[in-house]
Amino acid sequence: MGPCADGDRVTRLMSCSEPLYERLKSGLSLEQAPWPEDLGEARWPQAAVLVTLTDSARPEVLLGRRANHLPMHPGEVAFPGGKRESVDATPWDTALREAEEEVGIAASVSVPLGELPPLITRTGFEVHPCIAGVPAGLNLVVDPGEFDSVFYQPLDAFADPGVFRVEPMSDGQRERMVPHYALGADNIWGVTAAILAQLANVAYDAGLDLKRDWKLKP
């Protein structure tokens, strides 16, 4: 448990790093609205990810290295999350269900803090980032079918422009501007980096320029 261990989980999270959570509350939406289209009628395949912030004085984000046997994005750094299913009424339902399946974070310990606008990935998915507070020191149960390993990184590390860059990437048909974070041996890039940069901008006014609108086109 983090240093703010007294009180219920909402009180603990909001008191542990009050300025940060106040900025998140003012800068993020918390509508928890239903999925905007019926399953199968959306323009893009829909997915959601759970971006967790620990209840510590220096909140940390949980990330995972995707299993190397996966057909899409093997070995890449990602958040817990996945495709919308018929049982999911909202993006939060999808994000929380997937996080429990993939890393063992129960919905009962997650405090919704807000949502970032959905992003369109280069592979054509509409991804909804759901931001939640969780207790530090959770006993994670990682599904080896999804992640080879998981790790925590302080959120403020992603506000450092010295580890952030945006570079052009071509798929042979068109060129896109793609964000990257260089942290240790990991190159965190694509939609994961875009979510982290947007969250750092809200939380710390980092001023990181993604050089494109991820909400409009892949």
* Cα–Cα dist 180/183, whole Å: 10
The string of pLDDT tens digits covering residues 194-216 is: 999 999 999 999 999 998 887 65
Q: Which residues of 38-62 are buried (b: 16+ CB within 10 A; e: fewer)?
A: eeeeeeeebbbbbbbbbbbeebbbb
Q: How far apart are the first and last CA of the chain?
A: 39
The model carries a pTM of 0.90
Please report where in the chains the tokens 């750094």 appear, as a residue. 77
Q: pLDDT digit string (tens) for 130-168?
A: 999 999 999 999 999 999 999 999 999 999 999 999 999
**What domains can you pick out in the chain, each with its CATH number?**
9-31+43-156 (3.90.79.10)
Give me the torsion for CA of 197, 92, 218, 74, rounded to 10°. 80
